[in-house]
Chains A and B, each alone.
Chain A
Amino acid sequence: MELNILLNERFGFQDFRPGQKEIIEAILGGKHVLGVLATGSGKTLCYQMLSQLLDGLTIVVSPLISLMEDQWTRMRQTGFKDVGILHSALAKDRLQKEWQMIEQKKRKLILLSPERLTNPAFLERLAQHQISLLAIDEAHCVSQWGYDFRPDYLKIKDSYPVLRNPLVMALTGTASPKVQSDILYHLGIEDAEKIILSMNRPNIAYHVERVKGDEEKRSFLIRELPRLTGPGIIYAGTRRETEELADWLSDRLKMEIPAYHAGLPTENRALIQTQFIHGQTPLLVATTAFGMGIDKENIRFVIHYQMPTSIEGYLQETGRIGRDGKDGVAILLYTPDDFAITASVLDYSIPNYNQIKEFYHRLILQGDNLSIHHEESDHLPLKAFLYRLEQGDWIESVRTSENGKYHYILKKELDEEDISLIAAEWEQLRMEKRKGLACFNLIISANDCLRKGIHQYFGEKDHGFSLFCCTHCGIDLRMYYTHSRTETEISAQPRSWEEELELLLPIK
C-alpha cells in the first residue's frame, strides 16, 4: 500500500513529519536505521506503521515501564488492538494472556523492557515467532556518554542471533555525534542508514534568568508564574527540593501546585499525571522523572530551577514545550554557583574508587544472593559496576528470574589492580561528563546566541532562524504572558457532596 494512503486512512494524518518517511522506507528497503528526530516529532509513528507493513512481529524496546504502559494505552485507544506489552511487573494472568494473543497471531507490535531480552527462556519463546523488526526507543540509553545510561541496553545486541537477526531501528530525540557512534557500536549496527534531523525547535525560545541565589529564584517564580501562559513544568534538582518548592509555591500563590517525582506512591503519580494532561493542574514541580512519554501537546513553558546535568537532558526536557507547533519558552534560573552544585550531582551518579570497593565487598559477603530490582534507578552506580564485572568475566552471567531480579555469582576475584583499572575508566567518564557540563555552563554564561551554542554542541552548523530566539538575541517574556486561564482548574469553591455527585453522574 502506498505509504501516504496508509498514513491517511489508518493514522488520520495528511502528511509525514520530516524524517518519518525516510526511516520507514529505509527499513522496508532492508537496512538497519539510526533515527535522530527531535523530541515530539513522531518517532512512535515510525514503528507503529512498520508493524502494519511487515510480515512478522515488531518488537519495541522501551526503557520505562510507565512509559510503556502509557504508550500501550494510547495505541489501543487510537484503535490499534494488535499491540501487546511484556515487562517484568506484569501480573501473571495478564502475562499469560499476552502470550496467548501472540501465539494466536493477534499481535503485530510488542512493547518490551530491555531486561526481558536477557532472559534465555523468554528469548527462546519469543524466537518461535518471526521477528521482523527490533525498534529500540530512547536508544541514547545505550551510551555511557549519554545522560540517561541504562546498562541493560548494552545487552540488547546479544539477543540478535536467537531472534534470527531482525532489522534494527534505533531511535532517539537527542544524541551528540559521540553518542550517535556509541549507539551504532553498542547496538552492532555500524552499517545502519543514518537519518539525523536538526534538533532545532524554532517555536521554543531559550531564556536564561541570571539571579544571585535561591531567594531571587523564588522571587522570579512568584512574580512570573501568575503571568506566564500555562501549562508549564518547573524542574527542580532533587525529590526533596521538588516537594518543598511545590509546597512553598502552593502557599504563596494560593493555588494547587503538585510535586511529582519517582519516590511518590504509584497511585499519586498516575493521578498527578492525569490531572496535568487534563489541564486540572496547569503547573507542576517535578524531577526529571516527569516527562518521558507524556503526551501533552500544549505545554507552553518549562522552567529549570537548577541547572541540568547535561545539554542533552536540557534539550530533552525543554523539548516537551510546544509539541502543537505553537510558541513556548524555556527558562533557566541560573547563578554562577549552580555549576558546582550540578557537578557534584553528576559525580554522585558515577561510581568512585571507594564505592567500587564497597560494592565489591557486598558482592563477596552476599555471594550469589546479591540481587537488585530492575526498576531501582537509584542503584545506577551499582548496576554500572555489576555490568562492568560481567563484561570483564569476573561475575557469571546473570540468572534472571521472573520476579524482575538479577542474581550474581562471583567467578574470579578482583585484585587491587582490577579495581584501580575500573576506577580509572569511570574517572575518564566523569571527566567527559564534566567537560560536557562545562561546555553547557560556557554556553549559558557566554554573551552569544544560546540556540547557536546548543546546536553547535550537537555538531549542527546551521541552527536556522527563529523570530523569538533567546535572551542574547532578544526576547521579551511578556510575549508569553496571558490574561486569562484557558485550562480548567478544579473549583476552589467547595461544593456539597450532593452537588459533586450530580456533576459526576448527571442523570435523573
Chain B
Amino acid sequence: MNIDSFLLRFILHSIRQLNGARSQAGLANILYGKRNHQTWIDMHHLQLQSSYKFLEKEEAALLDEALLNLMRFKLIERRDESIFLTSAGISYLENENPSAADFYERDGRVIGMMNRFWSGLHLLVQTLSNLLQGNRKFLPAVREERIQEQVKRWVGKYGIVRGARGIKEELRRLISQFSPLHQELLLLRLSGHHRVSLTFLQLSRRLGYSYWRTKWEWERALSLLYHQMLQTEFHYLSDLMSSDSGLYSASSRKTWLLLQKNLSVAEISQIRGLKESTIMDHIVEIALMEKDFPFSSFLTENELREVEEVKQKTGFTRLREFKERLPHLSYFQIRLALTLLGVGVSHGVKHIT
C-alpha cells in the first residue's frame, strides 16, 4: 500500500496527541492496535482512541516510511527518543481537509467490535442473496467459523424470505439517512449472488479518493450504521450483534467475574493459575471500562487525589516520574489511579466523560 497525504496527516494527528510521551514503538503499537495492556492504557491516558488500530499488522513497514517522509518535509522533528510536530506540521494538519477535528470522531476501541458485526452482516447478505436465487453453494466471503455459525442461526430463526425482507427494509431505512459517499461505500462492501465485495484499493479507484481516505471514510460509514442501529429499534440487524462485548479480553472478563465476588488479587491469581502482575493488568483494563469498578479496595481516595495533584502540577505522563514523586505507592496503584482519572473518576465521584 502506498503512503498518501491523508495517511501522513493522520499520523501527524496521532503524533500531536502523543505529544512526545512515547517513542516511535509506542506510536506503532497504538496505530497497529496492539492488544497489550500498556498500549490499551496509553491509549486512554493520552487520548489516542482516534488513532488506535488504523493500520493492519501486514502494513508494518508503512510507519517507518511515513515518518521518514514527514521528517524530510520538516513536518516533525525528533528530540531524544520522542517525536514532535513542527509549526509547519501543525499548520499542515489544521489547514487541509478533512479537518483535524474530524479525526477525533474515530474510536479505534470499537473497530474490532464493529468489524465483527460487519462480517456477520456481510455474510448474511451474501447468504440471503444466494439463497433467494436458489444457489445453495457459494464461496463464503467470511471464513470465520464463529461468524458462519451465527449467520446459520440467524437464517434458521427468521427464514430466507422473511429475513431478507426484514434486513433489506432496515438497511434501506438506515442507509437512506447517510451521505451519497457513505451509501455507496456500504453497498459496495457487500457481496451477493452476482458479485463479491470490493477491496479498499478498488473502492478508492472507483470513488476517486486516496486509499487511506477511503479506508477512513469506510470506518465512518460503518460507525454511523452501527451506532444508529443501536439507538433505534432495528430488530433484524441488532440480532447480528455478537454477545461478546469486545471491550476487553476474555481473560480479563474472567478476572472481573471473580473480582465481583470480592476475591483478592492473590486469591484470583491462585484460582486462575496466573501471576499476580497479570491479574493487576486485568484490573487496570477493567477499570477503563466498567462503571461500577470497586477501586477503593486497591486505592484510597487520598491516594487517588495525590496522583491527581501530581498530574495537574507537572503534566507527567510516564509512570516512572510519578513513582519518583510518590514512592509509597506501587506502580500498580499509580497505573490504576491514572486510569481512573483518565476515564473521569475524581475525588470518589464517578462521571464518565
Q: How far is the CB of A178 from chain B (nearest CB, A)?
A: 36
Tally of chain B residues near chain A (CB < 8 A): 47
Q: Is B201 an interface residue (CB 8 A)?
A: yes
Distance, CA A508 to CA B162, complexed state (A): 10
Q: Which of B140, B172, B186, B187 has the most CB of A within 10 A?
A: B187
Decide: B195 and A497 in contact? CB cutoff 8 A.
no
Decide: A497 and B139 in contact? CB cutoff 8 A.
no
Q: A247-277 CB contact bits vs B (8 Å, 1 = yes)?
A: 0001000001011000111111011101101
Q: Is B334 an interface residue (CB 8 A)?
A: no
**Which residues in A have their C-beta under 8 angstroms from that of B198?**
271, 490
Which residue on A lies nearest to B207, using beta carbons? A494
**Which residues in A have their C-beta under 8 angstroms from that of B141?**
270-271, 274
Q: How far is the CB of B203 from chain A (nearest CB, A)?
A: 11
Q: Is B188 an interface residue (CB 8 A)?
A: yes
Checking B1, B56, B143, B196 against A280 with a beta-carbon cut-off of 8 angstroms, the contacting residue is B196
**Which residues in A have their C-beta under 8 angstroms from that of B200?**
268
Decide: B140 and A275 in contact? CB cutoff 8 A.
no
Tally of chain A residues near chain B (CB < 8 A): 38
Decide: B171 and A501 in contact? CB cutoff 8 A.
yes
Decide: B172 and A498 in contact? CB cutoff 8 A.
yes
Given A93-B146, A250-B205, A271-B199, check contact A507 B168 (CB 8 Å): yes
Interface-located stretch among B21-29, B96-104, B124-132, B312-320: B124-132
Distance, CA A120 to CA B199, complexed state (A): 41
**Which residues in B have their C-beta under 8 angstroms from that of A271?**
141, 196-199
Decide: B196 and A258 in contact? CB cutoff 8 A.
no
Distance, CA A278 to CA B196, complexed state (A): 8
Given A69-B143, A263-B58, A500-B187, check contact A505 B137 (CB 8 Å): no
Checking B56, B184, B192, B199 against A497 with a beta-carbon cut-off of 8 angstroms, the contacting residue is B184
Given A278-B195, A498-B172, check contact A504 B190 (CB 8 Å): yes
Q: How far is the CB of A283 from chain B (nearest CB, A)?
A: 13
Decide: B188 and A77 in contact? CB cutoff 8 A.
no
Q: Is B43 an interface residue (CB 8 A)?
A: no
Interface residues of A in 482-508 (CB under 8 A from B): 488, 490, 494, 497-498, 500-501, 503-508
Decide: A256 and B58 in contact? CB cutoff 8 A.
no
Q: How far is the CB of A102 from chain B (nearest CB, A)?
A: 16
Given A265-B58, A280-B196, A505-B125, check contact A73 B165 (CB 8 Å): no
Q: Closest 7 A-B residue pairs measured CB to CB?
A: A497-B183, A504-B192, A500-B187, A265-B56, A505-B168, A274-B196, A275-B196
Which residues of B pack against A, CB within 8 Å?
1-2, 56, 58-59, 125, 128-129, 132-133, 137, 139-141, 143-146, 161, 164-165, 167-168, 171-172, 175, 180, 183-184, 186-188, 190-202, 205-206
Q: List 12 A-B contacts (CB under 8 A).
A: A94-B145, A259-B201, A263-B58, A265-B58, A280-B195, A497-B180, A497-B183, A497-B187, A501-B168, A501-B175, A505-B125, A506-B129
